[in-house]
Amino acid sequence: MFSKSIILVFEMDILQTPIEFLKGIGPNRANLLKEELNIFSFQDLLYFFPHRYIDRSKFYKINELPQNNSEVQLKGSIIRVKMINQKRGKRLIADFSDGTHQMELIWFRGHQWIKNNLKPNLEYVIFGRLNWYGGKPSIPHPEIETQENFKKGFSKSLQAVYPSTEKLLTKGISQRLISKMIEELLKSIKTPFFETLPLGVTDKYGFINKHEALINIHFPKNQEKLTAALNRLKYEELFFIQLQLLIKNIQHKQKIKGYVFEKVGIRFNTFFNKNLPFNLTNAQKKVIKEIRKDLGSGQQMNRLLQGDVGSGKTIVALMIMLIASDNGFQSCFMAPTEILAKQHFQSITDILDELKVSIALLTGSTKKTERKIIADKLESGTLDILIGTHAVIEDTVKFKNIGLAIIDEQHRFGVAQRAKLWRKNTLPPHVLVMTATPIPRTLAMSVYGDLDISVIDELPPGRKRIKTIHNYDSNRLKVFKFMSDEIKKGRQIYVVYPLIEESEKMDYKDLMDGYESIVRAFPQPKYQISIVHGKMKAKDKDYEMDRFIKKQTQIMVATTVIEVGVNVPNASTMIIESAERFGLSQLHQLRGRVGRGNDQSFCVLISSQKLSSDAKTRLETMTTTTDGFEIAEVDLKLRGPGDLMGTKQSGVLQLKIADIIKDNQWLKIARNDANELLRLDSKLESPENMPLRQTLAKMKAFKNIWNYIS
Ligand code: ADP
Ligand code: MG
């Protein structure tokens, strides 16, 4: 045991060596590595993993090259070299022959060096991407080395390709050089790399050991070894993330006691029997049950409530808040926008009707005098429910006894705010985070492994599937006709324009132009039109929104401020302009604003004719499905999980080697294993779990996952 720890310390020391101390790397190269690739130490270089591999065992003949842009490798010699002067600059062309035919190798930069080093009559191995022009193949900027050197290479078959940048390439840091540096690094570390997984785990899956995995990830001996290395390292990465999250969850449950809401009292019961205007769906019932169990457990609840748009999360939130007040506790309900907060306040006030619950609305635009009244009521405990925006977590807001905090549409809040909210009290309230972002369950678990999860997986009955149509903007007149037909039936319509921060000015112009053309097509007084956008004062937004809610206007022209949560059941049509500029989850959110009543609803996506292939996929997905989970899967595939639910800051998903979607199977397995391991040894005290404890300790010290798994 002792000897192992000593090896670990020793290895750590070497790996922490600054990168400039590696043979062959001077200060210039070191700076480039730091700036471009974040490689500061030996350790960083060792864990700088290839993003793909190419097969260097296969050689093509020029007369049988594939007629596409694939990467090929050839053997042959240079016949002649010529420099060509063009308007756009010089280029160097080498005629290359392999006996079957000839082709050109082309360099647009770095000619001098190439020219001086290319020798006729020497046998070369060249590698690069084919380019076909006028039926003739060429290779721009091939990798080139003598056959003699090629044969000496560390690995001849599978060659790692590392992520690189334009700057590195022009400064001469080639793939070959990166490989060389790693080779040098491996040579200079003489002890085997420390094993980080317990024997039980490596045995169970027949994993190769850490040392072998690290060598083969950079210099795979063959395909089997590479697969083995990838599997092991992917598993390891996912396993440690899961382990960390589960430990956090366990510690959280042990440490943080919560208020016990033991009874369901008069308010909840009266509401349930008299006020509730519909039957709850089974999914709503199930979720309320899960939450009630948490609230009675004596531990603080930390739960994520997932439910597609329109699945009825608000009523669940309200009923839980009634339980809180039945038990003598205050609640707060936080929404991401003023419009939404106000709407929650109104609909909740309406539905509570004569039930004796004191509720207030607090937003950025609440007047000073009103604020004072709310503050007094909060502190004296006469206010039961506070609904609002970020304003509810300002330092000046003091509850007498907050027992429950509900956050609506979590993805609009950073993780930081979540923490802030419950740091506010000396005793933490129960926390329920609600989101309509339907992320796959396993993914949710790895993002929010420290939260429990409930899902409303059923829409209220009677909802009709929203019909979604894609139209090019040349078809706008047809869309106008459709709008007027819907209005004739007494329905209301949203027309939404994109708002993207970088081009706010242009977006604003688009919106105003669009608004004007709609006003022309739907003239007053027959038609009334509301407009809401980010540049308006909150007061004016509310006024316009109000008119729409009260059916005084038939059309609501808006930017994405209405994206989240707005509920006007009579609105049957959502028109989305420049739909190709929206992300999938945004489109899904927007569409979720209609289809809230019992009438057939529509969503019309309007785009230009020119569409990128991603944009095509997005629009096609929208017209073929309304299932939020399906849409989320496509979205993840298109965008990657990078900026899911405010996780960008948290770094949880910045994986180096595993892919949270493609390696979903491994993720599940790793989570189960981590769970089982902690069940048997929750503090990881047993000797065989020693490497885990040490690794976890290092995890705390470093931000990046792989910085500690060494
Ligand atoms: P979201 O989950 O998107 O926040 P809401 O809570 O705004 O959804 O609910 C959408 C609409 O469905 C509201 O008009 C709400 O009154 C209604 N609703 C919620 N639950 C039910 C139910 N069980 N039966 C019928 N309508 C419901
Ligand atoms: Mg909602």
Indicate the top mutation candidate among 315, 316, 344, 432 to test ligand 1's pocket, ranked by most ligand atoms within 8 A of CB: 315
Indicate the top mutation candidate among 304, 311, 345 to test ligand 1's pocket, ranked by most ligand atoms within 8 A of CB: 311
Task: Specify the residue with its C-alpha closest to ligand 1, atom 4.
Answer: 313
pLDDT confidence band for 410 (50 / 70 / 90): low
Environment of ion ligand 2 (residues, CB < 5 A): 565
In b/e form, how buried is each residue of 500-537, taking b as 16+ CB within 10 angstroms? Answer: eeeeeeebbebbeebbeebeebbeeeebebbbbbeeee
**Would you say how long the chain is, in residues?**
710
Task: Specify the residue with its C-alpha closest to ligand 1, atom 12.
Answer: 312
**Which tokens in the block code for residue 320?**
């839980």
Cα separation, 662 vs 658, in Å, equals 8
Q: What is the DSSP string of 193-250?
A: PPP-S-HHHHHHHTPPPHHHHHHHHHS-SSHHHHHHHHHHHHHHHHHHHHHHHHHHHH
Indicate the top mutation candidate among 314, 319, 434 to test ligand 1's pocket, ranked by most ligand atoms within 8 A of CB: 314
pLDDT of residue 56: 80
pLDDT of residue 283: 96
Single-letter amino acid, residue 34: K
At 456, which helix (H) or strand (E)? Answer: strand 452-456
Question: CB of 333 within 8 A of CB of 387?
Answer: yes
Average pLDDT of 48-58? 86
Cα separation, 524 vs 709, in Å, equals 68
Task: Specify the residue with its C-alpha closest to ligand 1, atom 15.
Answer: 312
pLDDT confidence band for 563 (50 / 70 / 90): low
Average pLDDT of 385-396? 85
Per the prediction, the chain carries an average pLDDT of 84
What is the β-pairing status of strands 359-362 and 330-334?
Answer: unpaired
**Exposed, middle or buried by CB within 10 Å (0-12, 13-18, 19+), for 661?**
middle
Cα separation, 682 vs 675, in Å, equals 9
Q: Is 280 in the pocket of ligand 1 (CB under 6 A)?
A: yes
The alpha-helical segments, DSSP class H, found in 562-689 are 584-591, 613-624, 628-639, 664-680
Q: Is 435 in the pocket of ligand 1 (CB under 6 A)?
A: no
**Which tokens in the block code for residue 131?**
């380019």
pLDDT tens readout for residues 604-616: 999 999 888 889 9
Q: What is the pTM of this model?
A: 0.64
DSSP state of 68: S
pLDDT of residue 653: 53
pLDDT of residue 412: 47
For the CA of 456, the nearest ligand = 1
> For the chain, what percent of residues have pLDDT higher than 90?
41
Does the pLDDT of residue 76 top 60, yes or no? yes
Q: Is 429 in the pocket of ligand 1 (CB under 6 A)?
A: no
Q: Is 258 in the pocket of ligand 1 (CB under 6 A)?
A: no
Is pLDDT larger for residue 258 or for residue 645?
258
Is pLDDT larger for residue 356 or for residue 257?
356
Task: Specify the residue with its C-alpha closest to ligand 1, atom 16.
Answer: 312
Task: Specify the residue with its C-alpha closest to ligand 1, atom 10.
Answer: 310
d(CA 278, ligand 1 centre) in Å: 10
Question: CB of 328 within 8 A of CB of 339?
Answer: no
d(CA 333, ligand 2 centre) in Å: 12
Question: CB of 93 within 8 A of CB of 199?
Answer: no
Give the up-direction half-sphere exposure of residue 614: CA atoms within 13 A in the CB hemisphere.
10
Helix, strand, or coil here: 260? coil
At 371, which helix (H) or strand (E)? Answer: helix 368-380
Could you identify the atom of ligand 1 that is nearest to the CA of residue 596?
11
pLDDT of residue 607: 95
Cα separation, 407 vs 414, in Å, equals 11
d(CA 313, ligand 1 centre) in Å: 7
Could you identify the atom of ligand 1 that is nearest to the CA of residue 281?
23
Q: Is 306 in the pocket of ligand 1 (CB under 6 A)?
A: no
Give the chain's domains with CATH numbers: 58-156 (2.40.50.140), 266-456 (3.40.50.300), 467-625 (3.40.50.300)
Question: CB of 397 within 8 A of CB of 388?
Answer: no
Does the pLDDT of residue 335 top 80, yes or no? yes
pLDDT of residue 224: 92
pLDDT confidence band for 388 (50 / 70 / 90): very high
pLDDT of residue 425: 56
Average pLDDT of 6-31? 77
pLDDT confidence band for 1 (50 / 70 / 90): very low
d(CA 267, ligand 2 centre) in Å: 23
Task: Specify the residue with its C-alpha closest to ligand 1, atom 9.
Answer: 312
Q: Is 142 in the pocket of ligand 1 (CB under 6 A)?
A: no
For the CA of 461, the nearest ligand = 1
Cα separation, 152 vs 183, in Å, equals 13
Does the pLDDT of residue 113 top 60, yes or no? yes
Single-letter amino acid, residue 331: S
The reply to whether omega before 525 is within 30° of 0 (cis) is yes
Cα separation, 258 vs 463, in Å, equals 38
pLDDT confidence band for 696 (50 / 70 / 90): confident
Is pLDDT larger for residue 544 or for residue 110?
544
What is the β-pairing status of strands 467-472 and 302-307?
Answer: unpaired
d(CA 280, ligand 1 centre) in Å: 9
Could you identify the atom of ligand 1 that is nearest to the CA of residue 569?
14
- CA nearest neighbour of 256 among 448, 453, 410, 450: 450
For the CA of 311, the nearest ligand = 1
d(CA 457, ligand 1 centre) in Å: 13
pLDDT confidence band for 516 (50 / 70 / 90): very high
Does the pLDDT of residue 499 top 60, yes or no? yes
Does the pLDDT of residue 325 top 80, yes or no? yes
At 150, which helix (H) or strand (E)? Answer: helix 147-152
Average pLDDT of 348-375? 93
pLDDT tens readout for residues 310-320: 889 999 999 99
For the CA of 567, the nearest ligand = 1
In b/e form, how buried is each residue of 53-64, taking b as 16+ CB within 10 angstroms? Answer: bbebeeebebee
pLDDT confidence band for 500 (50 / 70 / 90): low
Cα separation, 397 vs 362, in Å, equals 10
Cα separation, 579 vs 471, in Å, equals 10
Does the pLDDT of residue 427 top 70, yes or no? no
Sheet arrangement for strand 452-456: 359-362, 385-388, 330-334, 402-407, 430-435, 302-307, 452-456
- CA nearest neighbour of 444 among 671, 692, 703, 699: 671
Backbone angles phi, psi at 56, to 5 degrees: -100, 15
- In 10 A of CB 116, how many CB atoms? 8
Helices and strands counted in the chain (H then E): 26, 22
pLDDT of residue 414: 46
pLDDT tens readout for residues 162-200: 988 878 877 878 888 899 999 999 998 877 888 889 888
pLDDT of residue 649: 34
> Any idea of the CA torsion for 539, 544, 549, 555, to the nearest 10 degrees?
-160
Average pLDDT of 473-486? 93
Average pLDDT of 143-148? 85
